[in-house]
Structure 1
Amino acid sequence: MRLSDPLRGASARLAHLRSAGARQAADWNERMLAQAGDGTRRGTRWGRSALAAVPAAVAVGALGTALAGGALAAGFNITHQPFTLTSNGVSGTGFGAIVNTPAVGEADGTTSTRTGMTRVGFSQARLAGLCGIVHQRFAGVPYSLLLTAGQKVEEGSSGSFTPDIEAKNLYLQATDLGSRGATRLENTVIGQSADQVSVAGKPLSGAQPGAFGLGSAGGEGGASISLRGLVAQAHDAEIAGSMELPGLNLRVVPGSATSC
């Protein structure tokens, strides 16, 4: 496939910026190490990390140019890529969960169903803040996309919480999902056959008869759950209904962020 002129131009500009940034970083790194070698303390020594940090910042700074030129159209894709979701707490009704083996994208472009995951659904969910982190590489440089909404998510939070985000028909597919604090379940059957678990009147996708499920014991409102300090290593997040996200913010930062 022939590259368009705008795409070629954006790629060339990005390559030039990265090359210039790397030269500047190397020069500064050498100066800092030379100064450190004379035994004189000059405050915080950034020399050892400059070579990695400056090119990353240059690449992230060039992201806007690349987007405008369409350079990310083929490479900017988080489908089937793990991402981290955290919240100070989640409470929900109409809750259900199953274990399944969804199709997961491999590095060679194929898909496999060898990875066991938990699929969780809420017909009604309330979250106390939301932090989503996706790690990506662009032109060989690592950066992170941070999605935040609602109150600030405190790292390590496990105490009481006050929800400020509303969601309907929210689904998560995760390899690891848990809470840092107490979890409360009500009106719940643990060990229900996966094909018998339903959320908002529908079975969870990927459910197989006999597979593990966590569903409602019946009655008004179905099963309910409250988790203090949600942490999920997710592969998919789906909003089949609606979600109110106060103060939604999406930003890109250099490096591999671990918190918002």
Structure 2
Amino acid sequence: MSSQVRGGTRWKRFALVMVPSVAATAAVGIGLAQGALAASFAVSGQEFKVKATELEGWDFVQYGSVASGKTLDGKPLNEPVAVSGFSEAYITNMCQSVVTPKLPFDLGSVTLRLEAGGPGHERVYAKDLYLDVSELDADAQFTNIDIGVAAGSLKKFPGGKETKTGIQPNTEANPNGFAQRAEKAVLKKVQQKAWATTAGTFNLSGLKLRLSGGTKAECY
């Protein structure tokens, strides 16, 4: 999420999510250049921020893609993203915020902030979760990670084990492009920017939604 709307592709700012090596970051950039295509719907012209104390997810996969849509003023938008998928995930103390700038009638900017899974409530639960992420900061731990997997082979772990997570349904990606996978991923002190999130199930315990003027209510 950003309070400024930008068109075009910010290749120099492309940051790979949850990658424990510089070589892996470079390889995902190569995967994008080889023709990974975008999500199953046109994204809005606004990024949003997500903050969480912890994300615990299973059957993690990740590959490069492009989020496409239009900016708020109608210009073409094509943004490189790292698509991260989980068959199941639990999120503690989730906060999501998005700023809409320059509203009419001299209202200025307005921040929409959503919170769930905080103290006294169950963790947020998501099934078949996919995140189109442009930036991420976190402490990450992976279990049985494979780096450099062909995107078309994400569902097949060594030994023939099939997982529920692969390239997101109704999307396209280069089957020979760079990807990675892990049986489990735990991210702590999460701060990320994203263009889109999709999930088959999304349970938010203790949901709070607030609107406020300006940008001071952003999650971070």
Q: Normalising to structure 1: TM-score of the pair?
A: 0.57
Pick from 184, 196, 211 the counterpart of residue 252 of structure 1.
211
Alignment match, 1:211 = 177
**Counterpart mapping for 1:61-100 below 5 A:** 79-100=44-65
For residue 129 of structure 1, what is the amino acid of its counterpart? N
User: In the superposition, relative to structure 1, how do residues 96 and 173 fare at CA in structure 2: closer, same or farther (>3 Å)?
Assistant: same
Deviation readout 1:34-53 (Å, 9 max, x if unpaired): xxxxxxxxxxxxxxxxxxxx
1:109 and 2:69 equivalent? no
For residue 151 of structure 1, what is the amino acid of its counterpart? G
Deviation at 1:228, TM superposition (A): 0.7
Distance 1:103 1:246 in 2: 31
**Aligned Cα RMSD in Å?**
2.3
Report the structure, 1 or 2, having the larger strand content: 2
Report the structure, 1 or 2, having the larger helix content: 1
User: In the superposition, relative to structure 1, how do residues 91 and 176 fare at CA in structure 2: closer, same or farther (>3 Å)?
Assistant: same
Pick from 115, 118, 127 the counterpart of residue 91 of structure 2.
127
CA contact (8 A) 1:126 1:163 kept: no
Structure 1 residues not aligned, in runs of 5+: 1-77, 153-161, 217-222
Distance 1:201 1:226 in 2: 16
**Counterpart mapping for 1:5-154 below 5 A:** 79-113=44-78, 115-137=79-101, 138-139=103-104, 140=106, 141-151=108-118
Deviation readout 1:204-227 (Å, 9 max, x if unpaired): 3342133321124xxxxxx21001
**Counterpart mapping for 1:171-182 below 5 A:** 171-179=130-138, 181=139
Deviation readout 1:133-189 (Å, 9 max, x if unpaired): 10013214111000011216xxxxxxxxx972221111110111231x3x1111221
Q: Normalising to structure 2: TM-score of the pair?
A: 0.67
Deviation readout 1:117-139 (Å, 9 max, x if unpaired): 10111111011121001001321
Q: Which has the higher contact order (CA 8 A, sep 6+)?
A: 2
Alignment match, 2:34 = none
Count of matched residue pairs: 164
Deviation at 1:107, TM superposition (A): 4.7
Distance 2:44 2:50 in 1: 15
Distance 1:175 1:91 in 2: 20
CA contact (8 A) 1:145 1:251 kept: yes
Percent of aligned positions that are identical? 23
Instruction: Decide which structure has the larger Cα Rg and report it.
Output: 1
CA contact (8 A) 1:93 1:123 kept: yes
User: In the superposition, relative to structure 1, how do residues 187 and 212 fare at CA in structure 2: closer, same or farther (>3 Å)?
Assistant: same
Structure 2 residues not aligned, in runs of 5+: 1-42, 156-162
Alignment match, 2:185 = 225
CA contact (8 A) 1:87 1:231 kept: yes
